[in-house]
Amino acid sequence: MELPRNRFKQALRAGTAQVGLWSGLGTANSAELCAAAGFDWLLLDAEHGFNDVLGIQPQLQAVAPYATSAVVRPPAGDPALIKRYLDLGAQSLLVPMIDTPEQARALAAAACYAPAGIRGMATMTRAARWGRVRDYIQRAREEICVIAQIESVTGLANLDAIAAVEGIDALFIGPADLAASKGHPGQPGHPEVAAAIEHAIRRARELGKPVGILTLDEAQAKHYFELGCSFVAVGIDVVILARAVDALRARFKGGSAGASGY
Q: State the virtual CA torsion across 239, 240, 244, 245 in degrees, nearest 10.
A: -50
Question: Are 174 and 215 spatial neighbours (Cβ–Cβ below 8 Å)?
Answer: no
For 115, phi and psi rounded to 5 degrees? -85, -5
Find the angle CA(16)-CA(17)-CA(22) to the nearest 5 degrees.
130
Question: Are 164 and 158 spatial neighbours (Cβ–Cβ below 8 Å)?
Answer: no
Question: Are 248 and 208 spatial neighbours (Cβ–Cβ below 8 Å)?
Answer: no
Amino acid at 55: G
User: Is 223 a catalytic site residue?
Assistant: no
d(CA 23, CA 71): 10
Using alpha carbons, select from 129, 145, 130 the residue that is nearest to residue 43. Answer: 145
d(CA 74, CA 257): 40
| Catalytic residue from among 48, 184, 190, 199 | 48
Find the angle CA(93)-CA(214)-CA(141) to the nearest 5 degrees.
15
For 18, phi and psi rounded to 5 degrees? -125, 125
Kindly list the catalytic residues.
48
